[in-house]
Amino acid sequence: MENREKQLPVSCPSCGSGLNVKMLGCPECHTEVSGDYDLPVLLRLSKDELGFVLSFVKNSGSLKEMASEMGLSYPTVRNYLNELIEKIDRLEDDSER
Amino acid sequence: MTLRDDKKKLSTWLFNPFLFVGGERILLIGLIIAAVHIPIGYFLNVRFDGAIDMHLVPTDVGLLTPVIDVLIAWLSMAGCMFAAAKIFQSPMRLIDIAGAVLVARIPLLLSIGPVLLLEPDFQSIEELLNLQGSELYQLAALSVISLLFLIWFFVLLFNAFKINSNLKGAKLWFGFIGSAIIAEIISIMIQQAV
């Protein structure tokens, strides 16, 4: 069987709502902590969106450098960033409710 | 980002190269395209006398006319699109739209090929209206091909405005149509003044 990369599920496969963390485990001593924790906003982003945020930080916020690194035009990168900001605003509004 | 897949598609490069090319690069490509207007205008007697115009003329055009034509067409279109974006508070950069509107003119330049090959020989409107047989089919084919090039030109122009302004919905359409119409009016007024 192919070794597929696991992705953190962030939305409910049944109703589409954002998921919460119910249990955390220590991989060393196998201690388990259970509770009801909200996922941080950044973890609710998709893998590509999170990759974009990391690239933004690593490039010290320079969209010009990101555009050159990603092989995209500056306006495309800026538009993607604007969409991401709108999504983060929506996620923050959802978590405040 | 699915844009990586789009980069391999010919259709993206034909209709929306602005996703991948911007800044100094698109301005440089645009200026090369602007320069290509000059020999085309001079040797083939083509006028670009309007922001969205291109047609053959019966008299010699000269060397300075295509330079002035392309400058007026370029500055009026880029200026109006930039102004429209600023009215709607879009963070458009002048360098991107200045290069993009010139790149969008590629179909206008390419459409000269079919015009030179297919334009039937007529001297007056009466002769044009009395065209028959193969010459009539030639004219019909030329009309369809010219229309396709015109559509391609407008798709490129629209995408140039869309990508660079990041406007959506009514603001995008109003901004695009408004700036294209105003650019055409301004360019014709300047053409008549010079």
> If DSSP codes are grouped into helix, strand and coil, which group holds residue B69?
helix
Contact across the interface for B23 and A52, Cβ inside 8 Å? no
Contact across the interface for B22 and A70, Cβ inside 8 Å? no
User: Tens digits of per-residue pLDDT, A44-86?
Assistant: 898 889 999 999 999 999 999 999 999 999 999 999 999 999 9
- pLDDT higher than threshold 60 for residue A1: no
Looking at per-residue pLDDT, the higher value among B14 and A8 belongs to B14
Q: Report chain A's terminal Cα–Cα distance, integer Å.
A: 42
The CA angle B20-A79-A44, to the nearest 5 degrees, is: 115
Q: A74 to chain B: which residues are within 8 Å by CB?
A: 22-23, 93, 96
Distance from C-alpha of B44 to C-alpha of B58, rounded to nearest angstrom? 10
Which range has the worst mean pLDDT, B69-73, B117-121, B184-188, B190-194?
B117-121
pTM of the prediction?
0.86
Q: Is A74 on the interface with B (CB under 8 A)?
A: yes
Q: Is B19 on the interface with A (CB under 8 A)?
A: yes
For residue B122, what pLDDT is reported? 63
Contact B50, B73 (CB under 8 A): yes
User: Tens digits of per-residue pLDDT, B118-162?
Assistant: 776 666 666 767 767 777 787 788 889 999 999 999 999 999 999
| A76: nearest CB among B19, B91, B92 | B19
Q: A65 to chain B: which residues are within 8 Å by CB?
A: none
For residue B134, what pLDDT is reported? 74
Distance between alpha carbon A25 and the CA centroid of its chain, in Å? 21
pLDDT band at B8 (very low <50, low <70, confident <90, very high): confident
For residue B154, what pLDDT is reported? 97
Mean pLDDT of B34-52: 91
Tell me how close the Cα of B181 comes to any Cα of chain A, in angstroms. 24
Looking at per-residue pLDDT, the higher value among A56 and B1 belongs to A56
For residue A50, what pLDDT is reported? 92
Which range has the worst mean pLDDT, A87-96, B35-44, B81-90, B113-122?
B113-122
Contact across the interface for A52 and B1, Cβ inside 8 Å? yes
For residue B22, what pLDDT is reported? 94
- pLDDT higher than threshold 90 for residue A93: no
Helices marked H in chain B: 3-6, 10-15, 23-44, 64-87, 94-103, 106-110, 112-118, 125-129, 133-165, 169-193
- pLDDT higher than threshold 70 for residue B179: yes
For residue B82, what pLDDT is reported? 97
